Amino acid sequence: MNPTQIVEAVLFASEAPLKAEEIARADDALNEDLVEEAIQELNAVYSESERAFEIRELGEGYQLLTRADFAPYLERFDTIPRPSRLSGPALETVAIIAYRQPIGRIEMEYIRGVSSSAVIRTLQDRALIEIVARGEGLGRPLLYGTTQRFLEHFGFRSLDDLPRPEELPVILRERTPLEDLEGSKPVEPIESGEAATNEPEPDVDDVLAQEPETPPEEGEELAGWGEELVDAAAGQGDGNEELVDRTEDRTDQEEESAHG
């Protein structure tokens, strides 16, 4: 077997992205350089022959995926696994984290104008975000960032592939300095396995009460930038992520009342 065939077989059999060094373990004659050369050769063959799949670089690994333009045909089959969809509030929150990380809960809630505790837990359960540090402000709050799984889920190689911030103006809208709310700069990375979730964080209402600026009005729309993020991701990824109809989502008001 030549290296190209071995690399193709490994990627075909894998259900998750693999690093070049992991693929190279398939044969003693392989190394990272040979693996990357084989991937380039395979993609050239796929493109030239107009195949329905390609090898995509997702995060730090490679995965063999069907091309995004074939997604409408695959959606007709219930037997083909598809990733579960994110709700509107979850998309909004993960977009804020992606652009403002490391970021704490209070700052997220100040931007969104509603409670985000339940959404944060959902995103953590989905392994799309994680605790990365602690802030300098009151209570040294937990700060969140995106994960490798986030890149894989949305089809990005790195955070550099995110849509430009100017395309999502609500992310960068001017407010009272958010650093004053809870200290956006991390001071201590969270060690692996450290138990930090049991310590209480200051309530958003207590902090906002000290701010001279009026927080967002209830029900304020965020200009649909959550959808823009997913649309941009779908154009660069595997085309599997779908938007949830807003009428099917839990509203932010229900979320607040359930965890208020």
Residues 7, 103: one domain?
no
Question: Is the dihedral angle over the CA atoms 48, 50, 55, 57 positive or is it negative?
Answer: positive
Distance of CA 105 to CAs 30, 97, 99, 124, 227, Å?
Answer: 46, 10, 14, 13, 21
Domain assignment present for residue 76? The answer is no
Residue finishing a domain among 16, 31, 66: 66
Domain assignment present for residue 245? The answer is yes
The most distant pair of C-alpha atoms in the chain lies apart, rounded to whole Å, by 69
* Helix, strand, coil shares, percent, the chain, to 5: 45, 10, 45
Check residue 189 and give its pLDDT.
54
Residues 136, 184: one domain?
yes
Q: How far is 212 from 223, CA to CA, in rounded Å?
A: 25
The parent domain of residue 140 ranges over: 88-254
Residues 99, 52: one domain?
no
Residues 104, 209: one domain?
yes
Whole-prediction pTM value? 0.50
Q: Which H or E element spans position 62?
A: strand 61-66
**Number of separate domains in the chain:** 2
Check residue 246 and give its pLDDT.
34
Residues 118, 235: one domain?
yes
Domain assignment present for residue 55? The answer is yes
Domain assignment present for residue 166? The answer is yes
Q: How far is 215 from 208, CA to CA, in rounded Å?
A: 7
Total number of residues shown for the chain: 260
Report residue 38: phi and psi, to 5°: -65, -40
Residues 43, 138: one domain?
no
Report residue 62: phi and psi, to 5°: -120, 145
CA atoms in the 13 A half-sphere facing the CB of 199 = 9
Residues 124, 17: one domain?
no
Torsion angle, CA of 92/126/230/156, rounded to 10 degrees? 130
Structure tokens at 55: 């090898």
Residues 221, 167: one domain?
yes
Check residue 102 and give its pLDDT.
92
Domain harbouring 206, CATH code = 1.10.10.10
Check residue 211 and give its pLDDT.
40
Domain assignment present for residue 220? The answer is yes
Check residue 180 and give its pLDDT.
45
Residues 48, 94: one domain?
no
Q: How far is 154 from 218, CA to CA, in rounded Å?
A: 30
Domain assignment present for residue 75? The answer is no
Ramachandran region, residue 59 (left: φ > 0; alpha: ψ -120 to 50; beta: rest): left
Check residue 15 and give its pLDDT.
84
**In tens digits, what is the pLDDT along the chain, a chain of 260 residues?**
899 999 999 999 988 889 999 999 999 999 999 999 999 999 999 999 999 999 998 878 899 988 888 888 887 887 766 666 788 888 889 999 999 999 999 999 988 888 889 999 999 988 899 999 988 877 788 999 999 889 888 878 788 888 776 665 554 444 334 444 444 444 455 554 444 444 455 454 444 444 433 333 333 333 344 444 544 333 333 333 433 333 334 334 444 444 44
Domain assignment present for residue 82? The answer is no
Q: Are 104 and 141 in contact (CB under 8 A)?
A: yes
Residues 105, 58: one domain?
no
Q: How far is 16 from 1, CA to CA, in rounded Å?
A: 23
Check residue 60 and give its pLDDT.
80
Check residue 252 and give its pLDDT.
45
CA atoms in the 13 A half-sphere facing the CB of 104 = 29
Domain assignment present for residue 71? The answer is no
